[in-house]
Amino acid sequence: MRKSASVERPAQQRHAVRRRRFSAITSSQCVYEVRPREDHRGVDLISDALPFGWLWYGEPDAISNAISYAKFYSRSHDAVIRIYDEAGNVIETHEHKGDFREP
């Protein structure tokens, strides 16, 4: 039996709360968060700019790959990439300037 679209699962609720923090950012700037997963199987890349809101990276160089992905897909606009530790503290911040130029 199919679940109703209005019923959110716990993981979706957790990510919805995180997405609310992005609402204060201007539309020309994207914010990405790289957070360790609760099951200790890699990291999540979270942003409103992503098609499904978040991506899971589980390989050994997961943090590096998540940062590269965020920089690549925000190449036409400014972006801030924040890396968090297990306790939820920001341990690293990357600022990416977009290359888009008005004609």
Cα–Cα distance measured from residue 22 to residue 7, given in angstroms and rounded to the nearest whole number: 23
Strands of 61-102 (E only): list them: 78-84, 90-96
* Residues 47, 33 contacting (CB under 8 angstroms): yes
Counted domains in the chain:
1
Judge whether 42 lies within some domain: yes
Whether 81 has a pLDDT exceeding 80, the answer reads yes
Judge whether 56 lies within some domain: yes
Q: Which H or E element spans position 18? A: helix 10-20
**What does the pLDDT average to over 6-19?**
48
Judge whether 2 lies within some domain: no
Whether 87 has a pLDDT exceeding 80, the answer reads yes
Over the chain, what is the mean pLDDT? 76
Interval 21-68: pLDDT, tens? 444 444 568 899 999 999 989 999 999 888 788 889 998 899 999 999
Judge whether 63 lies within some domain: yes
pTM of this structure: 0.66
Q: Give 32-48 as a DSSP string.
A: EEEEE-TTSSSEEEE-T
Whether 2 has a pLDDT exceeding 90, the answer reads no
Residue of higher predicted confidence among 95 and 11:
95
> Which residues form the domain of 92?
10-96
What percentage of residues in the chain have a pLDDT greater than 90?
35
Judge whether 88 lies within some domain: yes
